[in-house]
Homo-oligomer: A and B are copies of this chain.
Amino acid sequence: MKQRSSIIGSVEALPHRVASHLSREIEGGDIIPGARLPTESQLADKFGVSRNVVREAIAQLRADGMIEARQGVGAFVMAPEQRTAIRIDREALKDQRNMEQLFELRSILETESATLAAARCTPDDLDAIKAALDRMGGEERWEDGSIEADLLFHRAIARATGNSYIYTFISFVCEQIRQSIHYARLTNPLHDLVEVNVAEHVRIYDALATHDPQAAGEAMRRHIDGAASRVGVELTAKINRGK
């Protein structure tokens, strides 16, 4: 293949690199919302790639709602508030401050999730939650599998709310946190003492089983806050809690 000179980094596939580059330009404010992007041909020249690659990059950005393309006119960048998708940048999660914020959001969602689940969960839901709990306390203890079981536990509760959006959002947030921790462990092997506190989970389960919304919410809140501090995140300024 003809060797082309590229102005961007390495490793990742070309469309992804172009998309990231454009994304950064937009996030950084180099291109203001409403403005038109250069034409596909111009971008292809600029990045030293084929127009096909540019189109795939734009396809990704468009899927995020970051860009809207109008045939015969051009591609325009959208205001960040009207994105049709939520994506969390993996890089951003390496920042401890972002982890704090993510845990705070998780605390909010999960607390209410437990509260709703306590009021609405069916016997089947309880079975699923119990199953995850058993996996956690079983032989998979301290293993990687226990983290999976932990995720399963929280997802099962979210499912029991009967609200698919709550389930989606919680799954998403938890997964981001999990991957972030996983990454941190790779770079710093000492980190694998993120033990799962089984007792806390049992307390949550008991509250759910007895259909006690308030107790479930409070147990969950304590659990999330504890989990946060266990990975080095302190949820500060917890007003309005324990009201």
Contact = CB atoms under 8 A, between A and B. Distances in A.
A223 interface: no
Given A63-B63, A166-B105, A172-B83, A214 B237 contact: no
Q: For chain A, which range describes its interface: under 10, 10 to 19, 20 to 34, or 35 or more residues?
A: 35 or more
Count of this chain's copies in the oligomeric assembly: 2
Contacts of A90: 84
Contact of A52 (B52, B87, B119): B52
A239 B161 CA distance: 12
Looking at chain A's contact residues, the main secondary structure is helix
Interface string A1-34: 0000000000000010001000000000000000
A96 interface: no
A163 interface: yes
A216 to B, nearest CB: 9
A165 interface: yes
A219 B85 CA distance: 29
Contacts of A85: 64, 85-87
Contacts of A36: none
Given A56-B56, A86-B87, 6 more contacts: A60-B62, A60-B63, A63-B87, A82-B175, A84-B90, A101-B163
